[in-house]
Structure 1
């Protein structure tokens, strides 16, 4: 799934391509992409004669601003936009086409068919789902260290799944959480409440640093991601842990390990990111072995 750097790159690309273009008509070939309104005819009618003004982003969502409406679009797994001349062949899996009065077309292609589109009145999109509960924007001025610490709070959730929660910090997915945690020297299973102030500071800096570098490189093309002009990102060449299972850590030389944390494949350096002792709970011969006494007492109480 495209994460913040990829969606930001698409936003920047589209912002050079479609502002000033007026919609003549709209073709919807896969109605289930549409969430609001879910009627393809109504969706198309509401857009006729509208002119694109700019393209913005909230988390992993694109906000395509028109005169009098806002189109909120989520690319999900493999959604992509491209600007084409109307005479160019239409590729397979093209589900929505915005036909412009100048003879060009903005086409939305989605092999996996998981993408979504919502139409809202201006500013309405920020007050209702899917945008109203999103967390801090990590590349905006609002993402201060104090704001980050407040968002983490005293939660006992492991730090990786917490960072993947879009209500905490937006735009982070599997790739950049793994990378930021490695840069900060924090194991993904560390409970958020156990992070020391210096670790919080390192992680805050690592998130901004990692995302900024990825945006500058045009994102990471791990599978099928390209920007609005069909260009691949380059940040995959700078990844330090993600997708490098068994390869040497670029810092210490230890082999990168892969495990599952919070249901997601997770890459760590076992030397640079020490596994926290207070989650060192393993199962052996049907019995729990717990290295942390406070956790052990709680488990003993439950079992009794």
Structure 2
């Protein structure tokens, strides 16, 4: 069993991005810029945005956060996004989710210029992903593919099972694996017999936010298990969706939580922002 070290890999990627950012500044006089829209006072969202800002600073990327109260109107958020679409110094726009219930999230995400959609949530970029064309890919699934590539795991011909069918993780993850010629099975809350699907998987990707969902008897010997879930237990510890201690001995590869997919998500956000800046250049 080999642990996929996302923390180490993300550090290497971020160091490479910092070099490329410096090169872009020297050769084209362009500093990549990322703008974040943060609505409300959700502690997890605030912590995540702080981590993103710190990562941008370390990589030499200019970043700005538009903090807004949870009572903000749809119109005000839309005005801010339109303003950022027009700003030539901003290459990436990211709206921290979830938004308050009175805000139409789809409308907000579709307002972002697809060329600045570094989260890859716009329907335009999602459509390009589904058809195997170049565009911006959501950061978490992109990070998973980067991990597989680094550890020389080729999805071609493998049976892959995705547990969780969200637009942010599950669906784009399935598209990426399908584009890499894996045979893909997608499971969700209405799947009748989850274990029936997971037990067949050579590559099992789980991201639903339910601690201990995947148990030892649900995983086949030698499987590659990617745990995207993150859950805080009552004692304050962080765990994934997979029962790590019991499942790990059966796997050929497994990601830990924390230190697995999480750090890769931020590294891919920086990578997408750099990509947008290069396209501007």
- TM-score normalised by L of structure 1: 0.23
Greater relative CO, 1 or 2 (CA 8 Å, sep 6+): 2
Structure that is richer in helix per residue = 2
